[in-house]
Amino acid sequence: MNTLERIVAATRREVEERKRRRPLNGAGPRSDIRDFAGALARPGLSLIAEHKRRSPSAGAIREDRSLPEVVQAYERGGAAALSILTEGPNFGGSLDDLVAARAASSLPLLRKDFIVDPYQVLEAHAAGADAVLLIVAALAPGELAALHEQVMSLSLTALVEVHDEREMEVALEVGARVIGINNRDLTTLEVDLRRGLDLVRAAPEGVIKVAESGFSAQGELRELEAGGFDAVLMGEALMRSEDIVATCSALTAPTM
């Protein structure tokens, strides 16, 4: 069993337990949904800044700063949106982090987790998420299509993550309008920074394209923008920074 399969299997078990403890039968309308896709579609390369305490590949990243402190620094540094990792066993996150980020920042929020069940979409909606991550590699095509439809029906944005051309085709078949291209192979955790630049050519015009994993320098971001990306998702490099505001400001500064 590879890393992704192990995490997905554990997530499915945890979700079943949460469903028994706290049933969610539906979602009422929300008038406070922020435009995640719109934030990424602005001119230039938009930064999605991620709050991530630890990861299976990097171990502990940053656990000495409060979440409100981090997300407020991201906002002051010019981030367009926030990604909040809510997976607990491997990344140290929770839905409480999403609620706290909502209270601390005015930016659109992505719930980043291994979403495998409609219940998790309802959780995300209730906790204040404006967008939900759907990973093609973690879902059967029918599951992906149903979850994507559910996310859209709640007026949230679906960020559909792909790793290769076959997954790109699956994402486009379900109607994905925001596609994340992950440089990290979730089965081995290896990162290839050329993956996204090669794969972005397969995404049609009109789709918002997000680069994910492994970036840390403004030169890399300039290459992404030139290659056709609309946004980049960064977490570890920002979380490790001693001055988050300055680091974000440098990364989001207009290029000459």
Whether residue 52 lies in the annotated active site: yes
Average pLDDT over residues 212-220: 82
State the pairing for strand pair 231-234/208-212: parallel
Q: Kindly compute the dihedral angle of the four CA atoms of residues 215, 220, 221, 222, in this order, to the nearest 10 degrees.
A: 180
Cα dihedral sign, 11-231-96-152: negative
Taking Cα atoms as reference points, which of 167, 118, 175, 178 lies closest to residue 138? 167
Where does the pLDDT of residue 106 fall: very low under 50, low under 70, confident under 90, or very high at 90 and above? very high
Average pLDDT over residues 187-207: 86
The model's pLDDT over 237-256, given as tens digits with 9 standing for 90+, comes to 899 999 999 999 998 887 64
Q: Kindly compute the dihedral angle of the four CA atoms of residues 156, 162, 166, 170, in this order, to the nearest 10 degrees.
A: -10
Q: Which of 46, 75, 112, 236 is catalytic?
A: 112
Q: What pLDDT does 255 receive?
A: 61
Domains (range + CATH), the chain: 3-19+38-252 (3.20.20.70)
Question: Are the C-beta atoms of residues 127 and 111 closer than 8 Å to each other?
Answer: yes
Where does the pLDDT of residue 186 fall: very low under 50, low under 70, confident under 90, or very high at 90 and above? confident
Q: How would DSSP label each residue in 65-133?
A: S-HHHHHHHHHHTT-SEEEEE---TTT---HHHHHHHHHH--S-EEEES---SHHHHHHHHHHT-SEEE
Element (H, E) at 8: helix 3-21
Whether residue 50 lies in the annotated active site: yes
The model's pLDDT over 114-143, given as tens digits with 9 standing for 90+, comes to 999 999 999 999 999 999 999 999 999 999
Q: The pTM is what?
A: 0.94
Q: Which of 46, 52, 55, 75 is catalytic?
A: 52
